[in-house]
Structure 1
Amino acid sequence: MELQQLRYVIAVAETNNFTRAAERCRVVQSALSHQIAGLERELGARLFERTSRRVRLTPAGEAFLPAARECLEAADRARAEVAAASGEVRGRLAVGAIPTVAAVNLPVALRDYRRRYPRVQITLASAGSEDLIERVRRGDVDVAFLGLPPRAEPKGVQSRRLGGGELVAVVTQDHHLTENEVDLRSLEDEPFIDFRVGAAGRAQSDEAFAAAGVQREVPFEVSSAEFMVDLVRQGLGVGMLPAAYAPRFSDLRMIRLRDAPTRVEHLIWDSRPTPAATAFLELIRADHEG
């Protein structure tokens, strides 16, 4: 069994097509088919069912695929560890972040990291905090930036706090509330645009309103800060955004809150970071502490 054979199996499984898999792997289709056939003979089982219309995994193929991925990941990690021992950082780095991360200038950090470690392949995924925690647990993401309510802590991962900050209300420039600073009770009768119930971005606001004894209506639930801002621009309600993030929307007006919701940003990672992830963590630590 060779690593190249595992790569071919994964490519066919992901494309459901031998021709497209061969194009992805940059080999002729006959060579790819020959290698997979040889692996099937070695295993004593068919990995794919082939028809004139489609290719799909057999039960044996379904069982083989996760182990094949683990083998390739282990091989990639072994190469990265050897390179790191020689003073070279390479491999892959998967970063995850909430869209409203503010404690770190993430675009600048990624630029600096890429300049310093050009042989590392970087990917970035944007998602909610709960999703990112799960992705780091599974190993799909190496490091991630979260925003959680003050009393919440990410579980099942390594983490460090990057800092906290208050939320502000964002409204249109011609909104009837003219004050620049109010308390939450002043917003009791306003319709709100916020994240879905249960999301970390929603929990920090809900907790603050509950502590203030204020009930609010949230007729518009969104999955991104950008969509929230789009709805605020149409005068559909009041949005809640981190004070460090909201100023980028210069066409909206910020209203500071005397009893503002707060959040804490966290950096999380797996208990066994790769050399590429370790280098990124060190860069963030140096930048943040500096």
Structure 2
Amino acid sequence: MELQQLRYVVAVAETSNFTRAAERCQVVQSALSHQIASLERELGARLFERTSRRVWLTPAGEAFLPAARECLEAADRARAEVAAASGEVRGRLAVGAIPTVAAVDLPVVLKEFRRRHPRVHITLTSAGSDDLTEQVRKGGVDVAFLGLPTRVEPRAVQSRRLARGELVAVVSPDHHLTDAEMDLRSLQGEPFVDFRAGHAGRAQSDEAFAAAGVRRDVAFEVSSADFMADLVRQGLGVGMLPAAYAPRFHDLRIIRLRDAPERVEYLVWGAHPSPAATAFLELVDHGTGQARDRPDPDGPAG
């Protein structure tokens, strides 16, 4: 069994097509098909079923695929470790981030990391904190930036607090609410635009309004801050955003809240970070791309 054969299997599984898999692997289709057939003979089981229109994994292939991916990841990790021992960082770095990262200027961090480590292939995934934590646990994401309610801490991952900050309300320029500061009770009866129920990005607002004894109507649920801003801009509701993030939307008015919801931003990573992930953690730790935000008074955790 050879690593190249495993790469061919993964490529066919991900493309569901031998021709596209061969193109991805930069080999002729006959060579790819021959190597997979050779591997199937060695294993004593067919990994794929195919017709003229479709390719799919057999039960044996479904069982084989996760182990094949693990072997390839281990091989890539071994190469990266050898390179790191020689002073060069290479390999892959999968970064995850919530849409409203405010503790660091993430584009600046990614640009500086690529400048320092051009041999590392970087990818970025945007998702909710719960989803990103699970991806870090499973190894699909190497490092992730989360935003959690103050009562919650990341579980089953390594973590460090980056910043603790308040949320503010944002409204359209011509909104009838004109005060620059108010309490949550003053917002009762207003329609809201917020993240989906059950997500960490929504929880801190829900908990703060509940603690204030305020029932609110979240009329519009969104998955991104940009979409929230678009709806708020049209006067469809009041939005809730981190105080350090809201000023990006220059045309929205910001209302400070005396009993504001709070959140803590974390940087999280797995138990055994790769050389690329370690280099990224060190870069963030040294303050590259640090945003102007209220520092976390509780200090680092992990």
Matching residue's letter, 1:134: E
How far does residue 168 in structure 1 lie from its aligned partner after superposition? 0.6
**Aligned residue in 2 for 1:215:** 215
Q: Could you say what secondary structure the match of 1:101 adopts?
A: coil
Q: Is 114-123 or 52-61 further displaced after alignment?
A: 52-61
**Aligned residue in 2 for 1:5:** 5
- Cα distance in 1 for residues equivalent to 2:54 and 2:289: 54
- Cα distance in 2 for residues equivalent to 1:195 and 1:34: 50
**Aligned residue in 2 for 1:33:** 33
**Aligned residue in 2 for 1:160:** 160
- Cα distance in 1 for residues equivalent to 2:289 and 2:131: 27
Matching residue's letter, 1:188: Q
How far does residue 46 in structure 1 lie from its aligned partner after superposition? 1.0
Q: Could you say what secondary structure the match of 1:287 adopts?
A: coil
Figure out how many residues of one structure are paired with residues of the other and give that number: 290
- Cα distance in 1 for residues equivalent to 2:64 and 2:234: 52
**Aligned residue in 1 for 2:204:** 204
Matching residue's letter, 1:5: Q
- Cα distance in 1 for residues equivalent to 2:196 and 2:5: 44
Matching residue's letter, 1:70: E
How far does residue 219 in structure 1 lie from its aligned partner after superposition? 1.4
**Aligned residue in 2 for 1:246:** 246
How far does residue 289 in structure 1 lie from its aligned partner after superposition? 11
Matching residue's letter, 1:231: L
Is the Cα contact below 8 Å between 2:105 and 2:289 reproduced in 1? no
Q: Could you say what secondary structure the match of 1:260 adopts?
A: coil
Deviations 1:237-263 (A, max 9, x none): 100001111111111100111111111
**Aligned residue in 1 for 2:294:** none
Decide whether aligned partners of structure 1 residues 115 and 288 sit closer, same or farther in structure 2, where only a CA change above 3 A counts. Answer: closer
**Aligned residue in 1 for 2:174:** 174
How far does residue 230 in structure 1 lie from its aligned partner after superposition? 1.0
State percent identity of aligned pairs: 81
Q: Could you say what secondary structure the match of 1:160 adopts?
A: strand
Deviations 1:99-156 (A, max 9, x none): 1000011100001100000100000011111110010011000000000001110111
**Aligned residue in 2 for 1:48:** 48
Q: Structure 1 residue runs of 4+, over 3 Å off?
A: none
Alignment of 1:1-290 (within 5 A): 1-287=1-287
Matching residue's letter, 2:110: L
Matching residue's letter, 1:20: R
How far does residue 58 in structure 1 lie from its aligned partner after superposition? 1.1
- Cα distance in 2 for residues equivalent to 1:119 and 1:50: 37
Q: Could you say what secondary structure the match of 2:276 adopts?
A: helix
Matching residue's letter, 2:274: T
Q: Is 166-175 or 216-225 further displaced after alignment?
A: 216-225
- Cα distance in 1 for residues equivalent to 2:168 and 2:285: 27
Q: Could you say what secondary structure the match of 2:227 adopts?
A: helix
- Cα distance in 1 for residues equivalent to 2:164 and 2:245: 12
- Cα distance in 1 for residues equivalent to 2:72 and 2:25: 14
- Cα distance in 2 for residues equivalent to 1:50 and 1:129: 39
List gaps (5 residues or longer) in structure 1.
none
**Aligned residue in 1 for 2:297:** none
- Cα distance in 1 for residues equivalent to 2:234 and 2:4: 54
- Cα distance in 1 for residues equivalent to 2:13 and 2:102: 39
- Cα distance in 2 for residues equivalent to 1:15 and 1:273: 29
List gaps (5 residues or longer) in structure 2.
291-302
- Cα distance in 1 for residues equivalent to 2:16 and 2:201: 38
Matching residue's letter, 1:56: W
How far does residue 203 in structure 1 lie from its aligned partner after superposition? 0.7
